């Protein structure tokens, strides 16, 4: 197990460094074209990873599959589908939920079911106004195959034990898939 975790953490660190490089590159391009642009807070949010954490005096290996860390004050991203927007959230540190929140809207149907149910014309209609591929190769990513992101966010921000608070709602302008 120690060898497995060592290699896993190495891979996760490699991925983090890649995200850092992409963020620096993105900021460089933006400031090249908009020299007065400023950046307040980076959001470095990953999902589908493993972390060693402690809850109720118990050391755990937490696997966040389809989930993000939502520790107190931690910024995160919860995407919708190709066309439904995304949310920037701030974690509330809910230990009952292992300081986690969903990584996204989540699928309501499998990729195969989406390909059987929808057509390329449906994809074009559901992604109207969003610059994206609209072909058979991304049909399984059609917005109709996903849960309602607003309902998913509502469920994580309300009730007796919320996981996150909404910082901003983002509108989809461009979606790169495939």
**Cα gap 20→26, rounded to integer Å:** 10
Number of H helices, E strands in the chain: 4, 9
Closest residue by Cα to residue 175 from 153, 142, 146, 151: 142
Q: Tell me, yes or no, if 41 is annotated catalytic.
A: no
**Cα gap 100→68, rounded to integer Å:** 6
**Cα gap 58→90, rounded to integer Å:** 25
Catalytic residue among 36, 41, 47, 103: 103
* C-alpha 44 chain-centroid distance: 10
C-alpha distances in Å from residue 1, one per residue of 5, 57, 128, 166: 6, 21, 48, 37
Element (DSSP H or E) covering residue 19: helix 2-33
Q: Which residues are catalytic?
A: 103
């Amino acid at each position: 197990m120690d060898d497995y975790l060592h290699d896993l953490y190495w891979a996760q660190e490699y991925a983090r460094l890649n995200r850092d490089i992409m963020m620096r590159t993105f900021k460089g391009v933006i400031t090249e074209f908009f020299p007065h642009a400023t950046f307040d807070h980076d959001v470095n949010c990953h999902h589908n990873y493993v972390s060693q954490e402690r809850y109720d005096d118990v050391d755990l290996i937490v696997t966040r599959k389809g989930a993000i860390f939502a520790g107190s004050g931690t910024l995160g991203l919860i995407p919708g589908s190709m066309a439904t927007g995304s949310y920037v959230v701030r974690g509330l540190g809910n230990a009952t939920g292992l300081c986690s929140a969903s990584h996204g809207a989540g699928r309501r149907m499998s990729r195969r079911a989406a390909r059987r149910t929808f057509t390329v014309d449906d994809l074009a209609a559901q992604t109207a106004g969003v610059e994206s591929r609209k072909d058979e190769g991304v049909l399984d990513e059609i917005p109709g195959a996903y849960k309602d992101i607003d309902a998913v966010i509502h469920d994580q921000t309300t009730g007796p034990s919320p996981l996150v608070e909404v910082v901003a709602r983002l509108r989809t302008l461009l979606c790169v898939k495939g």
